[in-house]
Chains A and B, each alone.
Chain A
Amino acid sequence: MSASHRFEESDELRLVIRADSFPEAAVEAGRALAEMAGAAAPVEESGGWAEVSVEAADRAALLVDWINELIFRAESEGWLGTDFEVVECSPTRLRVRARRLGWPSRSLPVKAATLDRARVVDDPGGVTAEVTLDL
């Protein structure tokens, strides 16, 4: 099991994830968001886990919705997830437990994930997922 991510820049920021599987890619997307936020401000441990679930038309839209859900939780509920456990994953539904880290500023450098060229592609090495982020 392995996953990694990188950011590619054009006018905005594109998140590119390589992972063994789609659930791993979703977890990596959550980690990437936390990494971006962590670079901007410190987080406070608050403990506890929260379950987050999203449904969408396909895996690319699912990944976009998942990132948007994490952005919303940070802004409205004041926490970020950095550790994740996938509870359920299908091509149209994703249910994840996320460990809550307090995020008092409720602000993130990412405002939204977009469907702009969003894609999830299976390949012999696993999965490549790409999402453009609005900053």
Chain B
Amino acid sequence: MTQARTEFPATRIGPWLYEIPKSARSDMRVPARIYADAQLWQKIAGDRSLEQLINVATLPGVTGYVFAMPDVHEGYGFPVGGVAAMRVGDGVVSPGGVGYDINCGVRLLVSGLGLPGLGSRLEPLVHELSRSIPSGPGRSPRYGLDGPGLDRVLATGCRELVARGLATEADLEVTEAGGCLPGADPTLVSQRAKDRGRDQLGTIGSGNHFVEVQVVDQIFDPAIAAAYGLRPGRLTVLIHTGSRGLGHQVCTDHVRELDQAMPRLGIHLPDRQLACAPIDSPEGKRYLAAMAAAANFAWANRQAITHSVREVFRRELGAEGGLRLLYDVAHNIAKLERYGGELLCIHRKGATRAFGPAAEETPEPYRAAGQPVFIPGSMGTASYVLAGADESASRSFGSCCHGAGRAMSRGAAKRAVSGAQLRRELESRGIVVRSPSNVGLAEEAPLAYKDVDRVVEVVHAAGLARKVARLLPVGVIKG
């Protein structure tokens, strides 16, 4: 055991695990555990994420441990890459523990076509995808919704898109929660949130959101890869986005409401961005119902983008252009889940659910393999397909990492690399790039992120999820 170099008394309790004891700060209710190797630990200890994790450990009703995944970095109140479980009986729900982009998540589509079969059609394919899927901040009227239509999306998520011919029953079967979180109440989503989201269905947004055409580069677990239908050389499409302005407004609305309610609720917080309410209080129930609605909007958003991608693939590739949804999983969400017989509210912010074969919620097609988990790398680098492991239930409340994790500010990235130069570098590697701005490209340059290979290795070695396949990008449509 070695003492870690940090202002907190962290102890390395295993090759991939550090622990900050409950005694580290008098207001901690539970210890904190951080999954990392020595190199990632140095980066983690260099920002405010540990302080934020300790703040989370002070929340009422928190139980077990608070966890940080190896891609953790500082967020607003709650670190990105953090997991916390609250007892439903006496615990709280915190919008900051979900984040602004409610149900930001990832889905992977699998083609029957291999990269060699695509030949010279790659560039026109990516070009048409970029024309068909709005990216960057702002909106698009293509899937514009009237008031009742938006309410149905908020209430039923992807189910409404089946009715509109934009999704299939098979898609719902392999979407987390069937693409519809129970308990959603559109009447608890503010008109402001609805105004921001109304014309954003089917849009990528900005920041680190993207649609990527990829090729299966390496298989680590042939049996699970076969269960997922992944073969070397096969094309895939990764979609990473969330609930857009609607989710942001839901978070803003409820952080504001709960911040004002803190004195009345008698809750004292080390950070106002952790504003929270008892799960069974009127304020807590209102947030959970509005969050579920925003989560449903996000699943519908990724499904609408899927429809656009499928249209382009069919148009450009004809009969070969079919795309099967492998899975869709959230990485910013709060859900009620049962551990050891106890019902808990699991906050995952920048953390992916990673249920193993034994979990009831693991969808039927993956009962032998475990729930698929997708870990997007930074732009132009590898992404990973993992399989959730049963051990994750006791080790991290069924969670693992969600990406590479930012290691450099957007401004620093812009100063360190030119967007035009980065575009040329990616293109020289045969990657077709479409982005509304070179500045946006520079902000998401690979050097701004941690090494995704290392992050995934820790998750694999710690037994939270198993490596299944590595995907390399061949076309990037950046938001």
Contacts and interface: CB of A to CB of B under 8 A. Distances in A.
A51 to B, nearest CB: 17
Interface string B48-83: 100000000000000000000000011111001000
Interface in A1-26: 7, 9-13
Contact of B275 (A11, A112, A115): A115
Interface residues of A, number: 30
Contacts of B273: 114-117
Interface string A17-41: 0000000000000000000000000
Given A72-B196, A75-B196, A115-B275, A11 B73 contact: yes
Contacts of B256: 56, 61, 65
Contact of B260 (A9, A56, A60, A116): A56
Given A57-B260, A68-B252, A107 B137 contact: yes
B406 interface: yes
Given A57-B259, A61-B259, A114 B137 contact: no
Interface in A93-124: 105-109, 111-112, 114-118
B100 A111 contact: yes
Contacts of B245: 75, 111
A135 interface: yes
Contacts of B232: none
Interface string B244-271: 0100110110011001100000000001
Nearest to A108: B137
B409 interface: yes
A116 B76 contact: yes
B409 A11 contact: yes
Given A115-B272, A115-B275, A116-B273, A10 B74 contact: yes
Given A13-B411, A114-B76, A134-B100, A106 B138 contact: yes
Contacts of B427: none
A56 B272 CA distance: 13
Contacts of A11: 47, 73-75, 80, 406, 409
A117 B137 contact: no
Interface string B81-114: 0000000000000000000100000000000000
Contact of B410 (A9, A72, A75): A9
A52 to B, nearest CB: 13
Contacts of A68: 252
B105 to A, nearest CB: 17
Nearest to A55: B260
Given A11-B409, A72-B196, A114-B76, A135 B207 contact: yes
Interface residues on B, range: 35 or more
A112 B192 CA distance: 13
A112 B260 contact: no
Contacts of B348: none
Contact of A106 (B76, B139, B260, B275): B139
A128 interface: no
Given A9-B412, A61-B256, A112 B248 contact: yes
Contact of A107 (B138, B260, B272): B138
Contacts of B74: 10-11
Contacts of A116: 75-77, 271-273
B195 interface: yes
Contacts of B271: 116-117
Interface string B121-144: 000000000000000111100000
Interface in B127-175: 136-139
A56 to B, nearest CB: 7
Contacts of A61: 256, 259-260, 272
Interface string B269-285: 00111010000000000
A117 B52 CA distance: 11
A118 B272 contact: yes
A115 B137 contact: no
A117 B207 CA distance: 22
Contacts of A60: 272
Given A61-B259, A132-B76, A109 B192 contact: no
Given A10-B74, A56-B260, A112 B136 contact: no
B138 A76 contact: no
B137 A72 contact: no
Contacts of B137: 105, 107-109, 111
**Which of A11, A12, A114, A117 neighbours the largest number of chain B CB atoms within 10 Å of its CB?**
A11
Task: Give the top 9 A-B pairs by smallest Cβ distance, nearest first.
Answer: A107-B137, A107-B138, A116-B76, A9-B409, A115-B272, A116-B273, A114-B76, A9-B411, A76-B195
Interface of B: 47-48, 73-77, 80, 100, 136-139, 192, 195-196, 206-207, 245, 248-249, 251-252, 255-256, 259-260, 271-273, 275, 406, 409-412
Interface of A: 7, 9-13, 56-57, 60-61, 65, 68, 72, 75-76, 105-109, 111-112, 114-118, 132, 134-135
Given A10-B74, A75-B245, 16 more contacts: A9-B411, A10-B409, A11-B47, A13-B409, A68-B252, A72-B196, A76-B192, A106-B138, A107-B136, A114-B76, A114-B100, A115-B77, A115-B255, A116-B273, A134-B100, A135-B410
